[in-house]
Amino acid sequence: MKTGNLLLFRIGFIPLVILIIVFAGCERDDESPYLETNLVTDYSVASHWLSLPVNLKQADVFYVYPTAWYKVDDHEPDICAVDHPMMMEGARQAFARQATAFEAAGNVYAPFYRQADAHYTLSLPEAQRWQVIRDYPAKDVIAAFEYYLAHFNHGRPFILAGHSQGANVLLVLLSDYLGHHPDVYKRMIAAYVIGYPVTESYMASNKHLKFAAGPDDTGVIISYNTQSPKVLPGANPVVANNIGLVINPISWTRDETPAPASESLGSLMPDSTGQFVRVPAFADARIDLTKGVLICSSVNDSAMFRLAGTMGLGVYHSFDYPFYYFNLEENAIRRTHTYLGIK
């Protein structure tokens, strides 16, 4: 059984996914320390990769981890180094509870990348926030993706997978890179853009992309953001006022029909020792089309808050992958087999 460390849920990470909130932060000098350099990370250096698989399957997975770093000192730069110890450790822990769900479907490649401090980013006007993402996290990830295509992929089909800041970066890769490389996009099995809203306006602006309609269509985006039914409108900082497209990760439908926990293939949750284990019939799933979120009503709000409550009671952002881990695993295999023509 795949396991991880409970510490990841207890670190107060501030997800960059909260890009849509107006942040009333402290005033800063115009010359931010992160502007000193904008050199793209060199991905010919093996230590700049979190995962470089050896035993190869017929398909690949390119994984982008969520926010794993934040400033603990005002004098730190607003963009962390690619080898920052906090980020590297957080990335490894995120990999254990997210990326391992895709190991049965393909070879999981994962770059380390420079992450942005959320407080700094949120102090900027929206257009500048997206520019910071494009200038640093996304620039690194796209460079890593290009290096992966040139040196590791060898023409195999691939899955994209990310969460939170990683999902935000994948949206840039999908629009800015794959939009200009249709030959590469044809090899995309699916993109699991989880933990950040994929809006109608985004899809309208990127007509080369498709949102998933069922359990085995390919070349599509899969997305959802999980919360309790008790969360009031606007109280979930992940989605704020952005209404996202959602697919149910248990039933793989787009309507509001509930999928009971009994139909789930299992969740990956910490036991009393902090190790992550398979828990059957734990998380149910229902889409709320009005809010553009995935509702989970079968878990205990308070218990989840004690595990990962930095974003508020009933906001299950940290559990987007663990709640539906084994359904995601099965679905990635299914879409890969569909793409490869395996019965």
Q: Can you give the pTM of this predicted structure?
A: 0.90
Residue 227 DSSP class: E
The separation between CA 209 and the C-alpha centre of its own chain, rounded to angstroms, equals: 18
Among residues 89, 335, 46, the alpha carbon closest in space to that of 216 is found at: 335
Tokens representing 107 are: 């070879």
Site of tokens 């995601």:
328
Percent of the chain's residues with pLDDT above 90: 76
User: pLDDT tier at 25 (50, 70, 90 boundaries)?
Assistant: very low
Mind listing the pLDDT tens digit for each residue in 242-301?
A: 899 999 999 999 999 999 999 999 999 999 898 999 999 999 999 999 999 999 999 999
Which residues, in sequence order, are CB contacts of 123 under 8 Å at separation 6+?
Answer: 23, 25, 26, 28
Per-chain mean pLDDT for the chain = 88
CB 206 within 8 A of CB 273: no
